[in-house]
Chain A
């Protein structure tokens, strides 16, 4: 009996240690880096071009997604950011913004919290440079200066949600239990050494494959933590309270990455594949004579019945 205990207790200790480390893939809060002073510096800091060499397929898929141009979007996002500043922030009496020169990272945060979370690593000058770049792009398009517009569009597109954002910056959600993402580590589903001098380590991010990971941006509703709450997406809220609550059990990743076969080409309504997965529509038609009333008499009537079943894990449309 004592022998069994002698073997059993160390095994138990090893198991307990393993369990603890499995939830501690992060580490202490890294020392703050000096903030990027230009768009170029920020883009270089989050440059993911070294990932392409080994992850060509995933990178190619990502390039087709809106994540690869999260500030530009379909071409509507960037102008909407300008509208938010011009129509919203500049008119709010207590925002402190009357002119572009007053815009700071905090003012852009209602957009960049999701569209460019790494802006937190940049100075207010970068926030103003972003606004100037978008406005310059709009003006160049208006003027028919296509070459300059393309150049500025490239700059706006370079501000995006790339490998480093998801697999490092945003990889660990519960930092007090799982630790902070480490600057030398790329987070995914494996652990060990990683063949990249900038990221020599691989570790498992506990929630990277869970819906909550996407929920960080594809939101629950108003982001009340901001000085001025905004609400673009309510998708994760819908997932929690209308899909899961009704018995749905699939994750965002299972549908958008695995079942769709799109991998890192995260798509929604712009993809035919996703549209087919999202809804079933049944149409039925018939005709009849409708004896409506004395005044209008009998009306020859066609009747179309449409039944739309939403098979997605959230309301449609949402974002």
Chain B
């Protein structure tokens, strides 16, 4: 969402139409452009010592990620939000984790 500037002055964000008359930051998706976002999601793991050495094991070698593109008017989930896009992605890490 764009961050409306308060009265178009200073660095404070405005909210109501009576004070919005500038933009502090534009975070909308620009037309004719592709926006790229990367999300890093650590797998759950446990750290422990084995034979006097630190090691780690995966608690789960699969993660299910729900990707949703939300439109959130006024930043609250109160029934006016809509999902532009959603997709579920399953990731796995089913290889032996050799601690080095």
Contact = CB atoms under 8 A, between A and B. Distances in A.
Contacts of B34: 307-310
B35 A301 contact: no
B38 A303 contact: yes
Nearest to A315: B28
B26 A315 contact: yes
Given A287-B93, A301-B41, A315 B4 contact: no
B29 A308 contact: yes
Contacts of A278: 84
B56 interface: yes
Q: Is the interface of B mostly helix, strand, loop or mixed?
A: strand
Given A287-B93, A317-B71, A248 B32 contact: yes
A300 B93 contact: yes
Interface residues of B, number: 54
Most buried by A among B17, B67, B93, B97: B17
Interface of A, secondary structure class, is mixed
Interface string A294-306: 0001111111111
Contact of B39 (A228, A289, A303): A303
B68 to A, nearest CB: 10
A287 B91 contact: yes
B35 A315 contact: no
Interface of A: 74, 76, 80, 83-84, 87-89, 92, 110-111, 221-222, 228-232, 234, 238-239, 242-243, 246-248, 269-270, 275, 278-279, 281, 283, 285-287, 289-290, 297-318
Interface of B: 1-2, 4, 8, 16-23, 26, 28-43, 45, 47, 54, 56, 58, 63, 65, 67, 69, 71, 73-74, 80, 82, 84-85, 87, 89-93, 97, 99-100
